[in-house]
A and B are shown apart, each in its own frame.
Chain A
Amino acid sequence: MSVYECRFLVPIHEDTDIGSGDLHPRNRWTKLKRDLLVKFGAWTRNPGFPEGVYTDPDTRLPVADKSREYRIALKEENIPELREYLKTVAVEFRQKVIYFFNGKEVEFIENPER
């Protein structure tokens, strides 16, 4: 079975529209790390903080932030589990979407509580 390198980005600030725009509390990052280890085993964080800008579809305002980038090698059958988990990440990190590269193409995982 093929193994794919998946990547996702978690901005270091909450969304200003659905959250406070503040940095995340440390317990949020702690939980993410524990969840990734328990659910998916190995992962790597890419060095630095990729910066990006996108237009918020609701406010029509440009949004810029730095993100932490995570890389996980997964068998194809396990990718849906990561996709599902990233919905939780979107909720817990107060994001409208989470940028996710599934090994083949980019997806934007939406916050189900919006």
Chain B
Amino acid sequence: MNYYKTLDGEVFNLDELTKQQKLIYSEVKSFYDINPDWNQFSNVWTDRLREAFAGVDPRTVVEEPIFEICQDLDSRLGVRQGYMREPDYRDLLADIISRHFKSRYQFCKEMGIDEGYLSAVLARKKHMSIEKLQEILDKLDHRIVFVEKVGATR
């Protein structure tokens, strides 16, 4: 089985892509392999997918495995070239809050956390204890997962 594993640990079976999508993957991956300019790479794969999925609802396109794979290659390049960083728990927590709560205020109220404290944590000026983080994640039915960073050598 040919597979692709994303930075977040999601695995896609490349054999299940359509013929057209396999061709796109091959083209995009070959371009990625020469370490192109990050902006140029982003434009190339988004243009390629836009062309391939012309007329398709974009909300469907962003759920396609080929979109996720190309997006992941984009992220790998951006991190490697020093234009973005790997997220830490604070970034992922901010993500969860924006997806599941109307506001940080609502989140703080439900979790029993001071808003000023949360702001300081999310602004990376403070750390949250692992105990507090686990307590929050338990209430949100989420768990901590360890994945390799971009360029991990161990």
Contact = CB atoms under 8 A, between A and B. Distances in A.
Interface string A31-42: 101100110011
A19 B50 CA distance: 34
Interface in A83-101: 92, 94
A27 B39 contact: no
A29 B43 contact: no
A30 interface: yes
Contacts of B87: 25-28
B98 A46 contact: no
Contact of B75 (A29, A38, A92): A29
Given A30-B71, A30-B75, A38 B59 contact: yes
A27 B7 CA distance: 11
A75 interface: no
B58 A26 contact: no
B46 interface: yes
B84 A26 contact: yes
Nearest to A30: B71
Interface residues of A, number: 30
B40 A47 contact: yes
B95 A27 contact: yes
Contacts of B61: 37
Contact of A25 (B40, B85, B123): B85
A64 interface: no
Contacts of A49: 39, 83
Interface of B: 7, 37, 39-40, 42-43, 46, 50, 58-59, 61-62, 71, 74-75, 78-79, 82-88, 91-92, 95, 98, 123-125
